[in-house]
Amino acid sequence: MNANVMRILAVVSILAPYGCGGGGVEFNTTFPPINPVPVQNTNVVASEPFNFNLASTTRSRLVLTGINGSIVVNGAPAGSNVTVTGEREVGSDSLADAQAQLPLLQVNVQEVGADILVSTTQPQNSGGRRYTVNYRIQLPASFAVNIANVNGSVEVNAMAGNLDSSLINGRTEATVALPASGSVKLTGENGDIVLHLPQSTSAVLTAEVGIGTITLTGLVLQNQVTTSTLLQGTLGTGTGTVSLKTNIGSVSIDAVP
DSSP H or E segment with residue 86: strand 82-92
Is residue 108 domain-resident?
A: yes
Contacts of 32 (CB under 8 A, 6+ apart): none
pLDDT on residue 24: 52
- Please give the model's pTM, rounded to 2 decimal places: 0.88
Backbone angles phi, psi at 105, to 5 degrees: -105, 110
> Does residue 182 contact residue 204 with C-beta atoms inside 8 Å?
no
Is residue 152 domain-resident?
A: no
Is residue 227 domain-resident?
A: no
Is residue 91 domain-resident?
A: yes
Rounded Cα–Cα distance for residues 175 and 212 (Å): 21
Is residue 110 domain-resident?
A: yes
Is residue 1 domain-resident?
A: yes
Neighbours of 27 (CB within 10 A): 17
**Domain total in the chain:** 1
Is residue 51 domain-resident?
A: yes
| Structural domain of 17 | 1-139
Predicted confidence (pLDDT) per residue in 61-103, tens digit: 999 999 999 999 999 999 999 999 999 999 999 999 999 999 9
Predicted confidence (pLDDT) per residue in 100-132, tens digit: 999 999 999 999 999 999 999 999 999 999 999
Is residue 203 domain-resident?
A: no
- In this predicted model, which residue has the larger pLDDT, 35 or 87? 87
Range scoring the smallest mean pLDDT among 6-10, 22-26, 89-93, 122-126: 6-10
